[in-house]
Amino acid sequence: MADQSTLQRRGLLFVLSSPSGAGKTTISRMLLTADEQISLSISVTTRSRREGEIDGVDYQFVSAEKFEEMVQKDEFYEWATVFDHRYGTPKAYIRKAMQEGQDFLFDIDWQGAQQLKQKDEQDVVTVFILPPDVAELRKRLESRGQDSQEIIDSRMERAKGEISHWAEYDYVIINDDVDACFVKVREILNAERVKRSRQTGLIPFVRKLTD
């Protein structure tokens, strides 16, 4: 018997953005654990590896020269400079896997989301996560314990800039409870998957029903 998940469909590019500290990384991890049809798009970056990060898993860490070479060869879907470092999404693998129905999760900022939308409007779904209030945002940034006060202050400033882009997103969620926020993210993803335009297997399926 056919069920929805075995019907052929095009993969989608699911973008989660938020200012640092609004919970995006936690939600991303929960989604990747719970849902086998979505995998993380691994970005290329020129920033140095943080403790605990693995090359090829968290990011592909490259030199500034290598990054520039990839830009020149048009190997990125999109790229941006964030906190003085460069970040980009390599496109070859993603395009191929999408044709086969693989969804990708993007943990990228508003610049990346905008560029992806411009390149590929119909396959991109964007979600913005907002912190419940400023005090909570600061608390979450401080509790990471990884960065100096100066960096935290500059991230707070940057967070305000990022929040100003909320209206460019398809969906906006306030993360006042991480589990509730996660449920909403999954509902969005599941609803987007059954959009008629994405289900390329529907025509032969319906033909069989009616012939």
36 vs 52, which CB is nearer to ligand 5GP?
52
Residue 87 or 182: the one with the smaller Cβ distance to ligand 5GP is 87
CB of 144 to ligand 5GP, least distance (A): 10
Strand ordering across the sheet containing 44-45: 60-61, 44-45, 85-90, 76-82
Distances (CA, A) of 144 to 4, 20, 29, 137: 41, 11, 16, 11
Shortest distance (Å) from residue 197 CB to ligand 5GP: 26
Listed in order, strand segments (DSSP E) in 42-159 are 44-45, 60-61, 76-82, 85-90, 103-107, 124-130
> Which residue is closest to ligand 5GP by CB?
112
Report the nearest approach of ligand 5GP to the CB of residue 5 (Å).
29
We find the least distance from the C-beta atom of residue 175 to ligand 5GP, in angstroms, to be 15
Residue 81 φ then ψ, to 5°? -105, 120
**Nearer Cβ to ligand 5GP, position 9 or 86?**
86
CB of 210 to ligand 5GP, least distance (A): 44
Q: Look up residue 59 and give its DSSP letter.
A: B
Write down how long the chain is. 211
Q: Which is nearer to ligand 5GP, 108 or 189 (CB)?
A: 108
Q: Residue numbers of the site for ligand 5GP (CB under 6 A)?
A: 43, 47, 78, 80, 82-83, 87-89, 107-109, 111-112
Do residues 59 and 43 make contact, with C-beta atoms less than 8 angstroms apart? yes
